[in-house]
């Protein structure tokens, strides 16, 4: 399956999972941010990042263009057994532009300290639960790979593979450590993503 097909499959899966989670009584923290669709200004944001620092990886570009952003942060009062389920979350391109502005304002010092431009992808699992955590998940730009490594994410995988892992765990890749009482099998019934 090519990268475009994989991103399309992820988008369809996220939409189905959001519907199923709601039906099962999961309460999203910010319902308007669950799957709002592509952000206005996406193409301009991509063009600016590429003009200022280099190529945006194809996987991320396609995600922003086709899906936009996703935020599954929330809770279900009866689903226990794992403290940090790490709900899938990908910022829209406007977050990358805010980080770009900060990077450019201090570019020489950042590069001197070997801190290149990083596209923010998601808060870490602890921050998603309002606990002080570590560095946000990110992608390095310029990127050489179409599906680049997702930096600072505990599964040590690529951006698109992380999205697919999230789908396999009903939107909660942290549950790969132990799902407790979460009804993962029912939520993912009939959903298939990946390179197969």
For the chain, 196 residues long, give each residue's pLDDT as a single digit of tens.
899 999 999 999 999 999 999 999 999 999 999 999 999 999 999 999 999 999 999 999 999 999 999 999 999 988 876 778 999 999 999 999 999 999 999 999 988 898 889 999 999 888 888 787 788 999 999 988 999 999 999 999 999 999 999 999 999 999 988 767 789 999 999 998 765 4
pLDDT of residue 195: 52
> The tokens of 181 are what?
């009482």
Distance of CA 63 to the CA centre of its chain: 9
Is residue 139 within 8 Å of residue 57, measured between CB atoms?
A: yes
80 by Cβ neighbours in 10 Å (0-12 / 13-18 / 19+) ranks as exposed
> The tokens of 86 are what?
């790490």
> The tokens of 83 are what?
């403290």
pLDDT of residue 196: 44
Is residue 10 within 8 Å of residue 67, measured between CB atoms?
A: yes
pLDDT of residue 177: 80
pLDDT of residue 157: 96
Is residue 117 within 8 Å of residue 102, measured between CB atoms?
A: no
Is residue 69 within 8 Å of residue 91, measured between CB atoms?
A: yes
CA distance 135 to 5: 30
Please give the model's pTM, rounded to 2 decimal places: 0.93
The residue written with tokens 């910022």 in the block is: 91
DSSP class of 177: G
């Amino acid at each position: 399956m090519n990268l475009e097909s994989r991103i399309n499959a992820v988008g369809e899966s996220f939409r189905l999972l959001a519907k199923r989670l709601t039906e099962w009584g999961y309460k999203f923290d910010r319902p308007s941010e669950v799957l709002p669709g592509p952000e206005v200004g996406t193409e301009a944001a991509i063009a600016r990042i590429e003009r200022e620092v280099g190529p945006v990886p194809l996987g991320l570009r396609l995600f922003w263009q086709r899906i936009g952003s996703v935020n599954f942060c929330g809770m279900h009062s009866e689903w226990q057994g794992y403290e940090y389920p790490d709900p899938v979350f990908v910022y829209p391109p406007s977050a990358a532009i805010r980080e770009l502005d900060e990077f450019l304002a201090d570019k020489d010092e950042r590069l001197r300290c070997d801190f290149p431009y990083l596209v923010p992808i998601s808060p870490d699992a602890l921050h998603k639960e309002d606990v002080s955590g570590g560095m946000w998940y990110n992608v390095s730009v310029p990127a050489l790979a179409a599906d680049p490594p997702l930096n600072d994410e505990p599964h040590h995988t690529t951006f698109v593979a992380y999205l697919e892992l999230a789908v396999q765990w009903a939107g909660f890749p942290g549950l790969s450590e132990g799902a407790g009482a979460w009804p993962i099998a029912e939520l993912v019934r009939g959903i298939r993503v990946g390179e197969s």
